[in-house]
Amino acid sequence: MKIGLSLSAALLLFGAHSASAEPEYLNSGQILPTTLPFSEAVKVAGTLYLSGQIGNMPGTLELAAGGIAGEAPQVMENIKTTLEAHGYAMSDLVKCTVFLADMSEWGAFNAVYATYFPAGRFPARSALGSTGLAFDARVEVECIAAK
């Protein structure tokens, strides 16, 4: 009987919390033009879902020069800037998905990616190869942050 009451109470609390968590559609305009047909992030309760970021120079659709060597640090800086614009930090990331135009560049990307997190505190992550990314980017990264 106690288990049933506890489960019911938990469901009531969860249901009340979920119903009040209206999504917020966010665009800071700091990284991508706000005219694109998607939000740079959507916040639901304490979770922030970032759209995929590429290594573009802030405020433009021009990619950082140098292929993966230039785009990898730029994409990570873009993620950091987007997080900070919405009150989050790199330490709040819990999941990232990496899309690479060429899986042979996985090591080069990892070398940059690892510098953005303290050792042992990496978000969960997936990485996949792609036959093409927006604007001919070498890398795209989408992330989820939580507080």
**pLDDT (tens digit, 9 = 90+) per residue, 60-111?**
999 999 999 999 999 999 999 999 999 999 999 999 999 999 999 999 999 9
Domains of the chain are: 22-146 (3.30.1330.40)
Residue 16 confidence (pLDDT) above 90: no
Residue 18 confidence (pLDDT) above 80: no
**pLDDT (tens digit, 9 = 90+) per residue, 111-135?**
999 999 988 899 999 999 999 999 9
The region, left, alpha or beta by phi > 0 then psi within -120 to 50, assigned to residue 88 is beta
Write down the mean pLDDT value for the chain. 89
User: Model-level pTM?
Assistant: 0.85
Residue 9 confidence (pLDDT) above 70: no
Question: Where residue 20 falls among pLDDT bands split at 50, 70, 90?
Answer: low
Cβ–Cβ under 8 Å, residues 55 and 63: yes
Cβ–Cβ under 8 Å, residues 23 and 43: yes
Residue 15 confidence (pLDDT) above 60: no
Instruction: Using DSSP, state whether 104 is helix, strand or coil.
Output: helix
